[in-house]
Amino acid sequence: MSRAATTPPETSAWANRKCLILCSIVAVANMQYGFDSAAIGSLQAMPGFLAVFGYPDPSLPTGYGIDSTVQQLIGSLMTAGAFLSSLVAGAFSDFLGRKYALWAACILNFIACAVQIASSNVGVLYFGRLLLGFANGFFVTFSNVYCAEASPAHMRGVMVALFAYWVNIGAIFGSVVDNYTSTRMDKLSYQIPIACLFIVPVLLGLGLFVVPESPRWLLVRGREAEARKSLDILRGGSTEQQWTEYEWDEMVRGVAAEKEIAQGVAWQDMFRGADLRRTLLCYGMIGCQTASGSWFIIAYSTYFFQIADITKAFQFSIMNTCIGFLGVNCGMYAIRHIFGRRSILILGAFLVGVSHLAYAIADTVHPNTEETGQIIVAFMALFQFSYNGGVGAASYPVATELVSSRLRAWTVGSATALGYILAWTTSFCTPYFINPQDLNWGAKYGYIWAASNAVCIVFFYVYMPEMKGRSLEELDEIFEARVPARKFPEYVCHISQEAAHDVATHHIPHINDKPSIEYVENTVEEKYTESV
């Protein structure tokens, strides 16, 4: 039987509107990540903030400077907190699931913001940043894991790419708020932006009451009836009943097969057998977010514009963030209708690398000129469009579908933690490169990021498989069969054929059905025996 004969028909976004709305409610968690990155990064160029946490320096355009250590810790402690929470995400999900993890993040977020608003002591600010990072780690990890597990296969790229969509909305909102408070010289200049960080937890915390728990998480936990109810809510009549039955059949068979393969403790299984390859690919994908130079641009673009003597730095940051949002929308459309995962990743990394290289060359040839300033603005805008439409839009769809349902929170969480380590390294080291007190490289810093994007292109081309249109259970089978990356599109999955047969014969599998799995020359043969 061909793959086409066992593949559910693709339905429109409108037909899947219920699932899309529910995933959008969950994905709004990522707005916090975007707002915080834009707002806190811009605070470092704001006189009212610098008057409290910086030092007077009449030679600088703002009249104030900020110590490199303070600058490092403001950005890096949030990253450190996110690293810690991402690292424990798998253990947390073993007990309480995706929704409760997001509720816990909302509570931590409230505490962190209250601490930062109430104090002008830099040590207390550091503690608040660390706690806020812990909340953000849960927001990012569990919102993306949930969207991957809740969405139908053909819409998964779009629904998980809501991560980039909401990150950019948050960044636009953060840039606008900072722009209107940047002229204030009192504490409200930074307290107002921080207070805006209460908005997302309120919206998300209330919205989660109408969102069902992940059906795959429930199924892995043996709560079969709840899992089926959750799936029916998410699909909401978006397709014919037979295809919902088909998807359910695949999910049950896939979870049963995973339990049979499992060897022991979940975090150890990430580094065994076929899961080792999946873990390394997921780590590489998340690492490419940092390798693109995104953390440098997000955290330091406004400050970078100012030390480059570019007027209207805040306005240019808002403009670039809006261009990035346009890129996200183009990327989401391309993921759904034009490109596969590999193609959009390669194209995005190429354009991002060109952007870094162009402004670095301009600053090398004509440093500190008006023309160079214009080139910096133009190519940072191209970066925003290319990154958000390429690596930014596709990274979490790819990372979440690379790993198995049983290990998804463990692997994506630890991969996100690795990403935060790399981001922390970027946040910690960047001031030394761009700060006039230190190396004072300025835009020449772009050479480093151009080189790292070249490495990303090689990684995507050689190692990244094409997974567009595959169900998560199909991907489990393909990886277990050790199929080479180039042969993913042509592989015909037995689990799909068996699910189609079950639907045709009205057979209903159960989670306690035990598969025996045999691997022969990159094929997987599964035989199910119903338990008595």
CA 419 to chain centre: 10
- Cα 270 to Cα 417: distance, rounded to the nearest angstrom: 15
Instruction: Determine the Cα–Cα distance for residues 193 and 189; give it in Å rounded to an integer.
Output: 7
Q: What span, in angstroms and rounded, lies between the C-alpha atoms of 499 and 243?
A: 10
What is the rounded distance in angstroms from the CA atom of residue 445 to the CA atom of residue 449? 7
The domain that holds 349 is classified in CATH as: 1.20.1250.20
| Torsional sign, CA 332, 336, 342, 344 | negative
Q: For residue 121, what is the enclosing H or E element?
A: none
Q: Is the pLDDT of residue 519 over 60?
A: no
* 45: three-class secondary structure by DSSP: coil
Asked, for residue 375, whether it belongs to a domain, the answer is yes
pLDDT for 465 equals: 94
- pLDDT at residue 516, rounded to an integer: 42
Q: Note the pLDDT of residue 122.
A: 82
The answer as to whether 234 is a domain residue is no
Between 17-27 and 122-150, two packed helices, what is the crossing angle to 10 degrees? 160
Has residue 55 been placed in a domain?
yes
Contact 314, 175 (CB under 8 A): yes
What are 65's strand-pairing partners?
A: 55
CA distance 246 to 9: 12
Position 392 in a domain: yes
Q: Which two tokens stand for residue 406?
A: 């049983």
**Of the segments 6-10, 74-78, 260-264, which one has the largest average pLDDT value?**
74-78
Q: In 3-state terms, what secondary structure has residue 311?
A: coil
Q: Is residue 106 part of a domain?
A: yes
Report the 10 Å Cβ neighbour count for 205.
16
> What is the C-alpha to C-alpha distance for residues 362 and 252, in angstroms, rounded to an integer?
57
Q: With b meaning 16 or more CB within 10 Å and e meaning fewer, what string describes 469-507? A: bbbbbbbbbbbbbebeeeebeebebbbbbbbbebbeeee
Residue 483 lies in a domain: no
> 122 is in which domain, residue-wise?
17-226+259-463
Residue 515 forms beta bridges with which residues?
A: 528
Which of these, 254, 227, 223, lies nearest to 406 by C-alpha position?
254
Domain total of the chain: 1
pLDDT category of residue 163 using cuts at 50, 70 and 90: confident
Q: For residue range 465-476, what is the model confidence (pLDDT) as tens digits?
A: 999 989 998 999
How far apart CA 158 and CA 20 sit, in angstroms, is 9
Residue 515 is classified by DSSP as: E
Question: Helix, strand or coil for residue 527?
Answer: strand
d(CA 80, CA 73): 10
Give the Cα separation of 523 and 525 in Å (integer). Answer: 7
State the Cα angle at 451 between 449 and 457, rounded to 5°: 105
Question: CA 72 to CA 406: how far, in whole Å?
Answer: 37
Q: What is the pLDDT of residues 243-252, one digit of tens each?
A: 889 999 899 8
- Report yes or no on 74 lying in a domain: yes
Output the six-digit token pair for 86: 């991402």
Span 311-365, pLDDT tens digits:
666 677 778 778 888 999 999 899 888 888 999 999 999 999 999 999 889 888 8
| 8-56 confidence digits (pLDDT tens) | 778 888 889 999 999 999 999 999 888 887 777 667 667 777 777 777 7
334 occurs within a structural domain: yes
